Amino acid sequence: MLNETLDAHREGFLGSVSGIETDFWDEVVLSVRAEYLSDAQDYPWIIGFSGGKDSTVVAQAAFEALLQVAPSKRKRHVHFVSNDTQVESPLVMAHLAKVQTAIASMTESFRLPVTVVTTRPAPDKTFWTLLIGKGYPSPNQTMRWCTDRLKIQPTRRYILDNVSAHGAAIVVLGVRLDESDSRRNSINKFQNLAGSNLTPHSELPGAFIYRPIVHLTLDDVWEVLGRCQPPWGGTHRDLIQLYRDAEGGECPVVLSKDEAPGCGTSNSRFGCWTCTVVDKDKSLQGFVDSGNHHFSALIEFRVWLKGIRNDPRYRSVERRNGEIRFNARGEQIQHVPGPFTIQARKMILDRLLAAQTEYGEPLISHDEIQQIHAIWAEEISQPARQRGDVA
Ligand code: SF4
C-alpha cells in the first residue's frame, strides 16, 4: 500500500512540468523554491541538520533553491540547526563540523540569508551531569530520560526563540514516509493546513513543519547524494563512506516526542556513543572494523555501563526526593531502585576518565566535572526532600 502510494506520487512527480519529463531532483528543488517564495508568509525556516543522509538532502535542496532565487527576493531567513548532545558519535560530529564550516563559508560568499548554528543541552542537563552527577540510571527503553533533555529541549528553545521574534517559524525536516512504520504513522497523524505544505507542530504553538522529501525513497536519497555535488562545495563521498563504515542508519533529528521513537532503536545507529538503549552500537563497531581501533575504548565503556545498570549494589534504595517506590506486577510487589549511589557515580567517573585516557580525546568536559562535584556536594549536605527531582 505504501509502495503504491509512493509510486503514484512519484509518477506525478516526474514529468509534471508542461508534459516534459523532468528529473525528480529538479522537481524537489523547484518545489522548495516555490515554498520559499510563498507569498502567504515569510516566516524563518529552521532546517534540522544532523549531517545524516536525509537532512543533507534537505539542506542541499534548500541551498540550491536559495541560489535560484534573485537576491532581492531572498526575504526569508534560513537557519541550519544542528544539535550536539556532547556524546555524539565522534566521526559523525567531525563530518558535521566540516559540512557546517563549508555551508557557513559559502553562505558568506553568496551573501545568503543563512545562519549555521549548533544547539547543545543546558550545562546542568548533559548526559554526564545527569548520569554521574545526579545518578540517573543509564537510559533504557522504559526510562529514556535522555532524548528530551539532550535532543528535544535544546532545539525546541531555538525554535521558540524564533517563534517569539517572528510570530511563527517553519521547521524543515528530512523525514520520509518509507523510513519506518513508526515514522509513517507519525507523519500521517497530522494533515497539512488547507492549500499548504505545512503541518502545525504537534507540541510547539506557532511552529509549523515542512517536509520537502517526504515522498522520496531510500534509493532516491542515495541517488541524489551519489550524483549531485553539494552546492557548498566538495562532494558527498565522506558521508557515503561514513555510512559504509557504520553499515548504515542514523539517529534522526528529533524535535518532538512524536519523532522520538526512532531514537535509541536499531534504526538509529548514529546515536550517542553512550547509548545504553540499544543492545549493540553497530555504527561504533563498524568504525572499529573499518580501522578506527581506538573506538574500542568507547564500546567497552558503553557495554560496562549498560551491564551495571540493574545491579542492586550500585543503586540507592530511595529516589532522589527520599521516596521509596514499589511496582505492583499481578500478585507481586517489586521494589523500584533509585539512582546510582554516590560510590557508584564515583566509580563511573573514574572508569570514564580511564576510557578517555585510552581513547586520547576528551569524552567529558572540565565544566561537566565541576558541575558533577557541585551536585555531589549538595547531595551530601542536604536531606533528600529538598532536592526535589525524582530519578
Ligand atoms: S541516541 Fe540513545 S542515549 Fe542518545 S538521546 Fe537517543 S536514546 Fe538517548
Instruction: Evaluate: CB of 96 within 6 angstroms of ligand 1.
Output: no
Instruction: Evaluate: CB of 32 within 6 angstroms of ligand 1.
Output: no
Cα Rg of the chain (Å, integer): 23
Instruction: Evaluate: CB of 151 within 6 angstroms of ligand 1.
Output: yes
Reported as a single tens digit per residue, the pLDDT across 86-102 is 999 998 999 999 999 99
Reported as a single tens digit per residue, the pLDDT across 101-145 is 999 999 999 999 999 999 999 999 999 999 999 999 999 998 999
pTM: 0.85
CA proximity to 242, closest of 287, 289, 294, 291: 287
State residue 297's pLDDT score: 96
Closest ligand 1 atom to the C-alpha of 251?
A: 1
Contact 299, 285 (CB under 8 A): yes
More confident residue, 86 or 335: 86
Percentage of the chain lying above the pLDDT 90 cut: 66
pLDDT band with cut points at 50, 70 and 90 for residue 381: confident
Grid cell digits, residue 227: 550524483
Ligand 1 pocket test: pick from 125, 150, 278, 302 the residue with the most ligand atoms within 8 Å of its Cβ. Answer: 150
Ranges of each domain in the chain: 2-270, 293-384
**Contacts by residues 330-333 (CB-CB < 8 Å, ≥ 24 positions apart):** none
Ligand 1 pocket test: pick from 89, 151, 276, 283 the residue with the most ligand atoms within 8 Å of its Cβ. Answer: 151
Q: In this structure, which residue's CA is closest to atom 3 in ligand 1?
A: 275
Q: How far apart are CA 228 and CA 25, in angstroms?
A: 9
Q: How far apart are CA 102 and CA 110, in angstroms?
A: 12
Q: Which residues, other chains included, contact 258 with Cβ-Cβ below 8 Å and sequence gap of 6+?
A: 186, 189, 202, 203
How many angstroms does the Cα of residue 33 sit away from the middle of ligand 1?
Answer: 34
Q: In this structure, which residue's CA is closest to atom 4 in ligand 1?
A: 272
Q: How far apart are CA 306 and CA 182, in angstroms?
A: 26
Which of the four CATH numbers 3.90.1150.10, 3.30.420.40, 3.40.50.620, 3.30.70.920 does domain 2-270 have? 3.40.50.620
Q: In this structure, which residue's CA is closest to atom 7 in ligand 1?
A: 264
Asked if the model's pLDDT at residue 284 lies above 90, the reply is: no
pLDDT band with cut points at 50, 70 and 90 for residue 249: very low
Instruction: Evaluate: CB of 275 within 6 angstroms of ligand 1.
Output: yes
Q: How far apart are CA 262 and CA 265, in angstroms?
A: 6
How many angstroms does the Cα of residue 154 sit away from the middle of ligand 1?
Answer: 14
How many angstroms does the Cα of residue 105 sit away from the middle of ligand 1?
Answer: 31
Instruction: Evaluate: CB of 277 within 6 angstroms of ligand 1.
Output: yes
Asked if the model's pLDDT at residue 182 lies above 80, the reply is: no
Mean pLDDT of the chain: 87
Could you tell me the CA-to-CA distances from 304 to 126, 198, 344, 351, 355 in Å, in that order?
20, 45, 13, 9, 11
Q: How far apart are CA 329 and CA 319, in angstroms?
A: 20
Average pLDDT over residues 159-171: 97
